[in-house]
Every structure is written in C-alpha cells, then in structure tokens.
Chains A and B, each alone.
Chain A
Amino acid sequence: MTSEQAPPSRPVPVPDEASLPFFDAAARGVLLIKHCAACSRYMAPQAEFCDRCLTDGIEWREASGRGTIYSFIINHQVGHLGFAAVVPYNIVVVELAEGPRLMSNYVGANEELVVDMAVQVVFEAVGDVVVPKWGRA
C-alpha cells in the first residue's frame, strides 16, 4: 500500500546521561543549573567544567526560575517540517537571576515579548519529556 508519509512532528528532546538530571528535575517542576561551590559561581545546565577554577567539580543546583529576556527572535523559517504548523514561533534567551543565559521558548504570545521583560519558568510536557520554558513573571 502506498500512502503519503505523515509529516514529521516537532523534535522531542531525547535525554542522555549528561542531560537526564535536568529533564528529570523539570518533570518535578524544578529548574536545575550547574554550580561551582568553590567559586560560588552558577553556570548553564550544559556546563561540564567551571570556567573559573577549571575543574569538573560542579554540581546541579536548583535555580530560582526567575529571569529576564536578554533577547528573542520570531522564527518564520521552517527549518524542520515539524515546525510547519508552528511558525512563526519565538526563541528566547533568558538571563537567569543567578547569571547564566538559557535558550528556550516563551509560552505567551510572540507579540508580548520585549527585551529585558521579567519572566518566570514554566514546565511544558512534550511527549514523555518535560521542558522548562518561560512565561510572563
């Protein structure tokens, strides 16, 4: 039987060893970032080393979930067919109260976005995974 293939859906995050604690915490409604106790320094969840003391002695720590919009874009290009029904969609860089900048999506209307506006983390279920996103504070 021949039939039209269903269009691919929006990519779903696939946690791996390095990112599993982040996604597990998100499923509990907690935003985790990295922290170097020796340097009292917060880093993005992706960090594997402290860029100050140059060690890997950094650990997960719960973030406040508060931040501001450092910058944002409204993407119109369908770079993956899973976004065909989603465009135009936003991508935001949020500067956390703790300092690190994270990239994600704002869950409100694109038109609401303003640089430096205050935002609060929200948790969005995507398939079997929960992803930290951002809403108006």
Chain B
Amino acid sequence: MIHHAKSAVVGLGISDVGKVYGRSAASFALQAIDRALEDSGLRKEQVDGLLMQNGIAQPGIGLQLQNQAGLKNLRLVNHMNVMGATPASMVQYATMAIQNGMAGCVICVFADAPLQDPGARSSAAMNFARGARQQPTGWASLDAHIGQLNPNAGYAMAARRHMALYGTTSEQLGAIAVSTRAWAVTNPIAQFRTPITIEDHQASRFIAEPFHLLDCCLISNGAVAVIVTGKERVADLKSKPAYVLAMAQGFTGNSRRAGDTHDYMTGATIARDTLYGQIGITAQDIDVCELYDCYTYTTLVTLEDYGFCAKGEGGPFVEDGKLGPGGSLPTNTGGGELSAFYLWGMTPLSEGVIQARGSGGDRQVEKHDLVLVTGNGGMLDYHASLILSPNAA
C-alpha cells in the first residue's frame, strides 16, 4: 500500500563521529550541514530554514549557527529541546512549517562534543569527580550525597522495576546488546565493531545494577544534519528521498508518586496511536525499527510500547535474537547508540533515513517500506517518532 507523504528527508550529513578531539560542536555541525547539502544536491541558497539542538557541549551550537553557516534570508529558525526526542521533533516542526508555506527547505542539525582528549586525562565525568564542577546546594546536593550523579541510575531503576513486575532478565537485556552489536559490525562508522555474546554481556562490569557496561550507550563527539523539504520538490533533486509518512509525540508526565507508570509505559504509548492512526497501520506492518537506545532497556520498553509484543513480554520477545541481522524484526541496524555512536535522537533518525533510502550497503534490510524511528529524552519523559519510507503518493 502506498501512503501519502507529509514531507521528505532529501539530505543526510554525518560528521566525523566518535573520539574525534579538538573540535567544537559548531565545527561538527558545519561539517554535517556541508555533507547534507552535498548529499541532497541542494545549494545553500536554496535552504530557508534552520532548526538546531545542542547536546551538552559548552560552548555548543546556538542561534549563531545561521551566521557560522553563512545562511542568509531564512524564514524559519529555532533552537529546540525535548532532549533525545528533539531530532525527530525537528523533522516534525520542519514538516509542519513546509506544509503551511512558512519554509520550503529546512536543515535540522544536532551537534555535541562532550569528549575531551584523553591525553589531558580529564573526561567530563572525571572533571566532576575531581570536584571541578561546583558543589551543588539544596535538593541537588541531596542527590549528590546519595550518589545519584548521572542518568544511569534512573534508567537502571526503571529496568529493575520492569524485571520485578514481569520477570525480565539481564540475559534478555543482553540479547539486545548482542543483536545491536551484530549490526554495528557492518557499519563502517560504528565505534564498536567487535561481535559480542551474551556471556560477554554478563561478564562486562556492572555500571549500575541491573545494568552491565554493555547495557549502556557509548559517548560520542559529532553532528548529524538532515534536510527536509516538500514531497513535490523531490523530483528536482539528485538524492533518493526518505518520505515522512507519519509523525507523533508522547509525554506521560511523571507525578513522582504512587500509581505513576511512566518508567515502564512511556510516552511511546501515546505517540503510537497517533503515529499508526495517521496511515492506518499496526506494529505488524513495520519492517525496520530504529529506536533510541541509550540503554538496552530503552529498546525493550519501546518495542512493548509500540505494540510489537504485549506489555511485559519484551524480554521473551527479544531473547531469540529477532532484532539482529537476518532476524524477523531488524532493529537498530546501524548499531544504535549502544554500539555505533551516541548523537542523541540523530542516531536512530540517521539510520532510519539510510534504511528508508536503501543506502545501507552491507547492512541494508531488504524489505524497508516502513521504517519506525523513535526519539526518547529525559528519564523516559519525552518521546517523538516518525515513519519513514522510500515510497509515497
């Protein structure tokens, strides 16, 4: 079945990514923009919109990016933030602007540069550990005292609750780490390309139990830019399009009191109905999943929330390896944030564009008519998603 397109992603630019030191977030952003323009065949003068998100880099990218990129006479600019859900959201806002005649061709870019040269032996985490970060006061100082120092705790807490409620096991989370790594092996720009086993996962050191090291994403420097335009302009361009067929967001809220379930029934449960309803599909129609995977658990809970299996059955669902190469539900086919690179919501979005365009090379999934892309941010607080396709009416 051919669905109507809302817009099309016609350019993708991925900067140098990973342990690339000595460059600013803006430097990565400009490289990604340049590569996206080259990929699309568009000239800079044809761009009239710029949406951006910075990671944690300080100084990062900001509204000055328009001038740094030499973009003149734009009709749409914004610096957006729903954390890891932002990249998919930017494509949505670009699409809405295009549909309403506010812009015709919008660059959406994310950049970050949290890693420092290990020669200086001062990663961001070590700077904090050495007290370089200011001593917090008030409630933040209580968090620091109890040892709640980074996002690992919140996600590990959610995974533990899921385990207690449904019997999910660490080995089942490990199956996600293994299948995701198997995809990374075939991605030339993935940071980790050595295959792993469940035994490797179980033997990797604990970070925040129940999470082992191999349950956690890596950290990357780099940027990704995508260019969104109207479907009617696709014919004039040299690049293959990834059509945007559906788009949605979801935010459950977190009451921080008894009865709140956002840690195992995320905003994806809200976005799902909007997303599927726009084109009349169900989970069974999806060919490829590109899911935000800051942790293995995020993949598992997102699969449940999108209805690929019943709530609580994510563990048994993934343990047969169906998410990996040759499996029945190819998921995170570039290696995801767990094994390829961690550029927030741009990791699943970029791979979704690659798969929808059929440009995945050795890792291209043969049937890729409907590609689900999700973004997640905060502690499972923010969610946005897209359906991408090579085909559209």
- Residues of A at the B interface (CB closer than 8 Å) are 8, 10-16, 18-19, 42-46, 51, 70-81, 83, 86, 88-89, 91, 93, 95, 99-101, 103-105, 115-116, 126, 131
Contact = CB atoms under 8 A, between A and B. Distances in A.
Interface size class of B (residues with CB under 8 A): 35 or more
B149 to A, nearest CB: 3
B149 A88 contact: no
Contact of A79 (B125, B255, B258): B125
Contacts of A77: 150, 152, 207-208
A135 B47 CA distance: 61
Given A99-B258, A116-B164, A76 B205 contact: yes
Interface in B139-168: 139, 141-150, 152-153, 156-158, 160-161, 163-164
Contact of A101 (B153, B163, B257): B257
Residue among A16, A43, A77, A131 with max Cβ neighbours from chain B (10 Å): A77
B150 A95 contact: no
A124 B145 CA distance: 12
Given A43-B257, A88-B209, A115-B164, A105 B128 contact: no
A103 B149 contact: no
B129 interface: yes
A105 B125 CA distance: 22
A75 B216 CA distance: 13
B284 interface: no
A134 B129 CA distance: 26
Interface in B226-281: 255-260, 263
Contacts of A45: 139
B205 A73 contact: no
B131 A8 contact: yes
B256 A44 contact: yes
Contacts of A99: 257-259
A73 B210 contact: yes
Given A46-B139, A73-B208, 19 more contacts: A10-B147, A15-B137, A43-B256, A44-B256, A71-B160, A72-B160, A73-B153, A73-B157, A75-B209, A76-B209, A78-B129, A79-B125, A80-B144, A86-B147, A95-B258, A99-B259, A100-B257, A101-B257, A131-B146
A75 B161 contact: no
A101 B49 CA distance: 43
A105 B146 contact: yes
Contacts of B163: 115
Contact of B129 (A75, A79, A93): A79
A12 B130 CA distance: 15
12 contacts: A8-B130, A12-B145, A14-B141, A45-B139, A71-B157, A72-B157, A77-B152, A91-B147, A91-B148, A101-B260, A115-B164, A131-B145
B118 interface: no
Contacts of A74: 206, 208-209
